Chains A and B, each alone.
Chain A
Amino acid sequence: MSAYPSIKTVEEFRQQPEEYQTAVRKIVRSHALNELYGAQVFDEPAIGLAPTPYAKWLTCRVAMEEYHHHVRFRELADQIGVRAEEMDARNKRPLNIFEVPLESWEQFCVIKMLGDLAEILQVEDLLHCSFVPLRNIARTTMPEEKFHAQFGLDFCVDLVETEQGRARVQKAVNGFYPEVPKFFGASGSRNNQLYRQFGIKLRSNEEMRADYMARARSTVEPLGITLPA
């Protein structure tokens, strides 16, 4: 683990080497945009696809939590000098997983179960981040991220009770899962090396990807669902 000291405030942050500041800005911007894309592309449209008021209102609440995560990261981004145009979703192409078109309730449940699991891993890696304001946002959002993944799993458990439902969940997993491992970035990434050197993140992209794939497998297998190769 890196011995980089804890940077407790934005004022201390501004006294760090430019390379450290740039690295933190990249991560904060990425989280802010991912939370926004997720809410806009998946959570809000899913309200209309949910089958009952229970599921619709729960999805409403989840959408609000995702927007709130976006705002927390965006506020920090503003404080640490991320330029406004870099935070504009229109100027930054979304990650591949946000380009999967949402077409069914089953698909949304799978996205929460497997997509939010990927987000959990990303946030886990920030729980001991050297930049304390970012660490605190990670710790604040983590319980809600865990709830969102559990939400997806719980609904998938209900869906796979019928053969038809299981087939629809399997189809959604087949369509979505292949995109997720790319979410962890390139192997041998120079950025990731810097993140670890500065104590911003703990693990390499390869380690996180392997952990994700193992956890995704252990999540879906009890449902009688398999991950595509």
Chain B
Amino acid sequence: MKEAWFSALGEPLGEHERSEIAAYLAGLGMDAAMPVREALSWKEADELCRMQSDDWWRAEEEERARLERGARLDPADPEWLALNDELHGAAAVAAARAGCADAALIRVAAGAASHAAYQARLARAAGAASGHPFLRKYGLYCGGRWPLGIYDQSFAIF
């Protein structure tokens, strides 16, 4: 099935997505009940992710480091590179539809999705269970969202 990369940006969150976010946060050892901030535009997403989000990033990196002790992926794998091109194309199309022509921000979105895709592939390669937080976060990307991180004690998502 073709994924819906970046196609639900700015749309209201559904209950299933909210519960996935809560489970993702809990899986990372973070507050599952923290407020969720829904970004409504590329500009708002841009402003949010230019803020620091060190605790969130550190929590993910600790989990990535743990998984990498049991599995390694080849960053030059052609299939993986093809996926990255697909993500960049999808980000560019979504941005263009919203009137955003910021080449750097489009690459930021594509890079975020690549990072999540890498984490999910790593989790699978390491034999993680289907409820692993990286798989939940990647599922949000597959459904057309861009999870932005934790800023001012809120989890932001576009």
Chain A residues at the B interface, C-beta cutoff of 8 Å: 36, 39, 44, 47-48, 51-54, 56-64, 67-68, 70-71, 74, 147, 151, 154
Contact = CB atoms under 8 A, between A and B. Distances in A.
A67 B49 contact: no
Nearest to A144: B107
B115 A52 contact: no
A154 B81 CA distance: 26
Interface in B81-95: 81, 84-85, 88
A52 B149 CA distance: 10
11 contacts: A36-B76, A39-B75, A52-B51, A54-B46, A54-B49, A57-B112, A58-B104, A58-B111, A61-B114, A63-B75, A68-B81
A51 B52 contact: yes
Main secondary structure of the interface of B (DSSP, over half): helix
Q: Which of B53, B88, B108 lies at the interface centre, i.e. has the most chain A CB atoms within 10 A of its CB?
A: B108
A53 B148 contact: yes
Given A61-B88, A71-B78, A53 B49 contact: yes
Nearest to A63: B75
Nearest to B51: A52
B138 to A, nearest CB: 14
B126 to A, nearest CB: 19
A46 B47 CA distance: 21
Contact of B52 (A52, A68, A74, A154): A52
A44 B75 CA distance: 10
Contact of B111 (A59, A74, A147): A59
B100 to A, nearest CB: 14
Contact of A57 (B52, B75, B109): B109
